[in-house]
Amino acid sequence: MSDQTQSTTPSSLSAVAAARADKKVAGTSPLGTGLEARGVHAWFDKHHALSDVSLDFSAGTVTALIGPSGCGKSTFIRTLNRMHEFIPHTSMAGQVLLDGKDIYEPGIDVTKIRLQIGMVFQKPNPFPSMTIGENVLSGLKLAQIKTSNPDELMEECLTRAGLWTEVKDRLGAHAGGLSGGQQQRLCIARALAVKPKVLLMDEPCSALDPGSTLRIEETISQLSKSMTVVIVTHNMQQAARVSDYTAFFLSDGGPGQMIEVGPTNEIFSRPRDQRTENYVTGRFG
Amino acid sequence: MSIDAPVKATPQARKITTKPRVSDQIFRAIVTAFSFSALVILALIALFLFIKGFSALKAQGFNFITSFEWNVFTDETGKEVAHFGLQAMLIGTVVISFIALFIAVPLAVLTALFLTFYAPERVKKVLVTVIDLMAAFPSILYGLWGYFVLMPMAEYWAKLLHKWLGWIYIFDVPEPIFQRSPFIAGIVLSIMIIPIITSVSREVFSQTPLERVQAAYALGATKWGMIRAVVLPFGANGVVGGSMLALGRAFGETVAVFSVLNIVYRTNFQILYTQGGNVASMIIQRFGEAGATEMSALIAAGLVLFFLTLIVNFFANFIVTKTVKSGR
Amino acid sequence: MSSVTVKPIKPWAATPRDRALTTASVLLAVLATFAIVAVTPMKGKLAYLFVFFVTWLAIDSFFVLRKSGVKGVRNGFAEKLTLLGAMIVMLAVGSILWSVISRGVAGLNFAYVTETMRNASMFDPIGKGGIAHAIFGTLLLIAIAIVISVPMGILTALYLTEIKGKASGLIEFLIQAMSGVPSVVAGLFIYAAIILNTPLRPSAFLGGLALTILMVPTVTRTAQEVLNLVPRDLREAGLAMGATQWKTVALVVVPAARSGLITAVILGVARIAGETAPLLFTVGTFDAFNINPFVGQNSALPVIVWSGLNGGSAESIQRAWSAILLLLIVVLIIFVAARLFGKKSMKK
């Protein structure tokens, strides 16, 4: 599209994304076929908030969802693990397929779905009445999953979340005493303990300091080797650093729509839609 | 113009005063005076109960609270002999109040959970109205209903309890008379206090932070799993506060207890047996025929009840305002 | 983008199949309950409830176990348990209302609400004598209590919301403490302070004083909440016009909170209308109208119920039921009035 002379942002973003794409070895992974959304709509009562979103999240990839506030990214991500239905008077349409099976199929046990599609929220939300160790294993307890070696699992998850060294001596301490960034990594460890195939992250770093943000981004890169990650983010640099694919959402007064999706470095350097380009060059949002 | 301008010191804040108009001064004086009436009334209650109860307190000393007899008679020499010990009735108060809590707290918490998390909107509105209405029922109504409607059923349950669990001391009875027992009084009392516990519990449950609820669900919890992991730990303090408020109410309950309990001046832990009492209903019972000496003792008993409920309510309100109103 | 209209659906809502399953399990449980109760020596209405709950749980768990495993069964059990708890509470209330209405109606007749007991005793057959004087007495007591506690309560609330003096914390604490005073203590206090100390003898006035102690905290707390709802701008507008504080309060704030303050009074009345214990110490009993609140014992509905219950004969007990029915109707009217005014004040 435009050969920028003034703003360097898109090209530096795409450079970062390109570098990341080089690092990643393309190919299929033994993680199933991933997550696919087909024609997903969402309503809050009569208000049509999200319209006709179709996205295919390949197994083992990290996809970033970007776009200005209120464009439906958070609503969309909540349709992926059936959290949207907790808000009263909501409805949806379309399908979400995990390994080819629609998670909205009637008769399905939704709690089993949520074990396979985990979520990390914007505000860290460890359970304050439990210790750090209990928090990590809380998902297993809630799902009544027996594990032969809980301590090993705890260590593994905390290590993958990048928290092990900081808390290994105080697993019995209460989770409330941790800093924001540590709490969020604890939440990631907690989500990992039930061994999900997909991890959804709704602006996981927006409430955290840059140091914690960087560490969590490292975690995300590691995680993508063994699961599919979808991350909503306001921070385009973060999207460039962390994701293989990026999807741009926009709502121009009506329901939110997915405008464009593609490999991250392409979205930032050669977006096909003018609106995408306006957003990534910082003309709005 | 010197280059090094002198550093200006921050000016001191001016004291703003105003002289209120006379009419306002009168207004404030009247309002303040009336609001101290609360203090005055409470102080007067304590004072007069103490003054009029003094003679009995002086005669019995600490025994007033600890000893077990309550009688006054004239002996052979014409002298009046009096023993006033509240212990049996204090224990009785605690016994029936705890039976009431034992029944009411689970029922109230379950009802509060049902209303907050399970009930459809219209059902919830109806139920909430009914529970508020319950709170407005006069206590004598509970007494009437308790005696004529509940007691026959409760007697049957007591017999069942005795049949299956009679080997436990509290469910054993010296003779098989199951009417008008602490057990039945406890049941009546429990229904009276359910509205209080339910509404406090409901308030605290509905304040459960949404983010923790979502965290539990996102981990694949069922509704009950979420309630156990998030709602109950969060709401525990509120439930305790509400229960203590209810306890304060139960301690002072008079006519309802009097109607369904055979007031006998003996400590009785065998709750299925027809013997028991609490301080408030004892006062009512003996008031009609009390002579001057006994009257002083009854008033002193009122004083004890006053302080007892004051203390319980103080702690209850403390817990409730700390946990429920501030929204931890 | 295609412009095909898509229909919103709720895939998580209960399907007709789910509903059919639930209905089927409930019906099966009901059948099983009757069967079990017929066969075993259990009796009593609660036996039915208990057996139904257990059988319904068993049947439902069978279906849930296949779909969601043990944790699903636990979830179902918890859900049914909360329903059971709520049902037990509703059954109790229902039983109370039903017994009052069904038993009280029999003794209600025109005579009952228009005559007094001057020429009858409560042991006489129904139809002779009535409790008109008690209805009057209750209204008189309420009136006296209102006259004293409304100014006290509202002025105290004004202190807390308008003056906000340094003693506010203390006063709020004291009002809390006062709300916990048992009604029997309030009555005993008036007895000890006034009847034993002065030549005054039981009368409606003393009863009203005792009821005041119970009413003031309710009025104060509700009035405080309502006054706090009046937006600050209104007060500031008044003061900015140069009005004194008391004029602002009297002419702007209080009228703005009017329906809420009425609610506060109504709630206070609801609190005291049915009180029995304090009246036993301070009002006594009387068989006819006594319109003098200061001299002479008086009558009140709760005390009629109390006497009837303690009388022990079938007639006196019948009178008690009818009196409590009347009292309950009074309380219900007050309750409905409080709700109506409450909604009005919240809507503003």
What ipTM was assigned to the predicted interfaces of this complex? 0.88
Three-class SS state of A257: strand
Beta strand A228-232 with A62-66: parallel, antiparallel or unpaired?
parallel
C101 and C137: one domain?
Answer: no
C200 and C155: one domain?
Answer: yes
In which domain, by residue range, is C194 found? 133-347
Distance from the Cα of B26 to chain C's closest Cα (Å) equals: 9
C89 and C165: one domain?
Answer: no
Residue C164 with chain B: CB contacts under 8 Å: none
Per-residue pLDDT of B272-328, as tens digits, reads 888 888 999 999 999 988 888 888 889 999 999 999 999 999 888 888 877 765 544
Q: Best residue in A51, A53, A97, A109 to probe C by mutation, most C CBs within 10 Å?
A: A109
Contact A261, A245 (CB under 8 A): yes
C160 and C97: one domain?
Answer: no
C220 and C302: one domain?
Answer: yes
Query: Does residue C8 lie within any of the structural domains?
Result: no
Per-residue pLDDT of C131-179, as tens digits, reads 888 999 999 999 999 999 999 999 999 989 888 888 888 888 889 889 9
Structure tokens at B30: 């009247």
Domains of chain B with CATH codes: 22-84 (no CATH), 87-325 (1.10.3720.10)
Contact B2, C225 (CB under 8 A): no
Per-residue pLDDT of B140-171, as tens digits, reads 999 999 999 999 999 988 998 898 898 888 88
Q: Could you give the CA distance from residue C219 to residue C156 in angstroms, rounded to a whole number? A: 9
Using CA coordinates, name the residue in chain B closest to C81: B110
**pLDDT 10s digit of each residue in chain A, 285 long?**
444 443 445 666 666 666 665 544 433 444 567 899 999 999 998 899 999 999 999 888 999 999 998 888 999 999 999 999 888 889 999 999 998 889 998 878 888 999 999 999 999 999 988 999 999 999 998 888 888 899 999 999 999 998 999 898 888 888 888 898 999 999 999 999 999 999 999 999 988 888 889 989 999 988 888 889 999 998 888 999 999 999 999 988 889 999 999 999 898 888 898 889 888 888 776
Between chains, do B36 and C167 touch, taking CB under 8 Å as contact? yes
Mark which of C59, C87, C105 sits at the end of a domain: C105
Query: Does residue C119 lie within any of the structural domains?
Result: no
Between chains, do C321 and B298 touch, taking CB under 8 Å as contact? no
C52 and C154: one domain?
Answer: no
Number of domains in chain C: 2
Q: Could you give the CA distance from residue A49 to residue A44 in angstroms, rounded to a whole number? A: 7
Distance from the Cα of B319 to chain A's closest Cα (Å) equals: 18
Contact A89, A45 (CB under 8 A): yes
Q: Could you give the CA distance from residue C344 to residue C266 in angstroms, rounded to a whole number? A: 14
CATH of residue C290: 1.10.3720.10
Q: Could you give the CA distance from residue A249 to residue A255 in angstroms, rounded to a whole number? A: 10
C205 and C155: one domain?
Answer: yes
Q: Chain B neighbours among A 130-149 (CB < 8 Å)?
A: 130, 138-139, 141-143
Q: Best residue in C88, C188, C191, C211 to probe B by mutation, most B CBs within 10 Å?
A: C188
Query: Does residue C213 lie within any of the structural domains?
Result: yes
- Band of pLDDT at residue C258, cut at 50, 70 and 90: confident
What's the pTM? 0.87
Contact C183, B252 (CB under 8 A): yes
Q: How many helices (H) and strands (E) does chain C have?
A: 14, 0
Using CA coordinates, name the residue in chain A closest to C1: A52
Is the Cα dihedral A272, A273, A279, A282 positive or negative?
A: positive
Query: Does residue C67 lie within any of the structural domains?
Result: yes
Between chains, do C171 and B38 touch, taking CB under 8 Å as contact? yes
C176 and C220: one domain?
Answer: yes
- pLDDT score, position A17: 65
Distance from the Cα of B6 to chain C's closest Cα (Å) equals: 40
Query: Does residue C62 lie within any of the structural domains?
Result: yes
Closest Cβ opposite residue A110 in set C10, C12, C71: C12
Between chains, do C74 and B114 touch, taking CB under 8 Å as contact? no
Domains of chain A with CATH codes: 9-26+40-280 (3.40.50.300)
Query: Does residue C266 lie within any of the structural domains?
Result: yes
C321 and C202: one domain?
Answer: yes
Q: Which phi-psi region, left, alpha or beta, contains residue B9 (left: φ > 0; alpha: ψ -120 to 50)?
A: beta
Between chains, do C193 and B48 touch, taking CB under 8 Å as contact? yes
Q: Could you give the CA distance from residue C12 to residue B138 in angstroms, rounded to a whole number? A: 45
Per-residue pLDDT of C185-210, as tens digits, reads 999 999 999 988 888 889 999 999 99
Residue A115 with chain B: CB contacts under 8 Å: 219-220
Between chains, do B225 and A142 touch, taking CB under 8 Å as contact? yes
The maximal CA–CA distance of chain A, rounded, in angstroms, is 60
C-beta atoms surrounding B55 within 10 Å: 17
Residue C179 with chain B: CB contacts under 8 Å: 313
C221 and C311: one domain?
Answer: yes
Query: Does residue C321 lie within any of the structural domains?
Result: yes
Between chains, do A142 and B215 touch, taking CB under 8 Å as contact? no
- Band of pLDDT at residue C234, cut at 50, 70 and 90: confident
Q: Could you give the CA distance from residue C269 to residue C280 in angstroms, rounded to a whole number? A: 19
Closest Cβ opposite residue A41 in set C6, C11, C67: C6
